[in-house]
């Protein structure tokens, strides 16, 4: 029994080590799925970390908007589905459907001890039919990722974009991208706000931009010393990809790795005794 307990303990510790880096990050992102039979799009607003976990968020703190191919915009009514928020949009012809959302600003204090005002926004662009274009209208988020690459035809290769802060090109924005094969890419925007990322595998890529501003203030009676803005853009380069299946295989692979390493450590410890 003691050997089994030791083995389980080592496995748990190793699993926590594997996931500790991933679970430290939270971002808001939007996933869209198209249903041709019912002629509608389903948009999920998610707070967590893509392919790793979904955390709970108060639906009252979330907003979701859509811009239709004809340029009309609408704020959508959200419904709570588990710990995420969801809305449905009727298909109004072929073209580009741009979704964007935001989470109510809040203050938090990270390990640095400096209280920050956190502003989280998200965007995704969904193309319907063959007449979709590469034109992406600006939606004037505080911090926005604007794709320069034609997302209606892009699969793999160099993805380019521009970071805007209050409508102006933002230099030195910290940019991360999380790929379908658990890739993690990092870069910064240049003095024109532009960036490049090498996407080697097709599927859903989540691009995240962050900027820290030396702006202090007070929110709901709590003082903060800096202003943190985070925005995401979900780019789906393979509409046929089964995200759930991909996530399941990734999780199984990580658990198997944890089991193997845990068993190896246990054998080593037993031999030392």
**pLDDT tens-place string over residues 73-125:** 999 999 998 888 999 999 999 999 999 999 999 998 888 888 999 999 999 99
Element housing 252 (H / E): helix 243-272
Are 64 and 99 in contact by the 8 Å Cβ rule? The answer is: yes
Does residue 251 surpass a pLDDT of 60? no
pLDDT tens profile 177-209: 999 999 999 999 999 999 999 999 999 999 999
Does residue 259 surpass a pLDDT of 70? no
What is the reported pLDDT for 268? 52
Are 108 and 96 in contact by the 8 Å Cβ rule? The answer is: no
Q: Is the pTM of this model over 0.75?
A: yes
User: CA of 22: how far to CAs of 25, 62, 211, in Å?
Assistant: 6, 23, 20
Region 130-136: what's the mean pLDDT? 58
Range with the lowest mean pLDDT among 33-42, 62-71, 90-99, 236-245?
A: 236-245
Residues 6+ apart with CB under 8 A from 114: 225, 226
Q: Which residue has the higher pLDDT, 122 or 251?
A: 122
Confidence of residue 237 (pLDDT cuts 50, 70, 90): confident
Q: Which residue has the higher pLDDT, 273 or 69?
A: 69
Does residue 33 surpass a pLDDT of 70? yes
Does residue 252 surpass a pLDDT of 60? no
pLDDT tens profile 137-156: 578 899 999 999 999 889 99
- Produce one character per residue of 236-254: b if its CB has 16 or more CB atoms within 10 Å, e if not: bbeeeeebeebbeeeeeeb
Residue 27 exposed, middle or buried by CB count within 10 Å (0-12, 13-18, 19+): buried
Q: Which residue has the higher pLDDT, 55 or 224?
A: 224
What is the reported pLDDT for 22? 41
Q: What 8-state DSSP symbol labels residue 181?
A: T
Residue among 150, 174, 152 nearest 160 (CA): 150
């Amino acid at each position: 029994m003691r050997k089994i307990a030791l083995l389980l303990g080592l496995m748990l510790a190793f699993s926590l080590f594997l996931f500790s880096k991933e679970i430290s990050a939270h971002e808001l992102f939007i996933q869209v799925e198209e249903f041709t039979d019912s002629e509608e799009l389903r948009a999920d607003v998610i707070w967590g970390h893509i392919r790793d976990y979904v955390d709970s968020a108060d639906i009252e703190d979330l907003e979701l908007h859509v811009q239709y191919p004809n340029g009309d915009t609408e704020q959508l009514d959200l419904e709570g589905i588990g710990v995420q928020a969801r809305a449905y949009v009727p298909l109004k012809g072929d073209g580009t459907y741009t979704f964007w959302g935001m989470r109510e600003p809040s203050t938090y204090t990270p390990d640095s001890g400096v209280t920050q005002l956190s502003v989280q926004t998200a965007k995704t662009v969904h193309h319907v039919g063959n007449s979709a274009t590469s034109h992406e209208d600006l939606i004037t988020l505080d911090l926005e990722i604007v794709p320069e690459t034609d997302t209606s035809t892009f699969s793999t290769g160099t993805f380019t974009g521009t970071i805007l802060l209050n409508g102006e090109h933002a230099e030195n924005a910290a940019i991360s991208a999380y790929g379908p094969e658990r890739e993690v890419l990092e870069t910064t925007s240049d003095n024109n706000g532009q960036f490049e990322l090498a996407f080697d595998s097709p599927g859903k890529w989540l691009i995240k931009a962050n900027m820290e501003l030396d702006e202090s203030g007070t929110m709901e009676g709590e003082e903060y010393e800096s202003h943190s803005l985070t925005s995401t853009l979900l780019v789906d380069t393979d509409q046929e990809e089964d995200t759930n299946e991909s996530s399941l295989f990734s999780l199984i692979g990580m658990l198997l790795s944890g089991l193997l390493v845990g068993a190896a450590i246990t054998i080593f410890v037993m031999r030392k005794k």
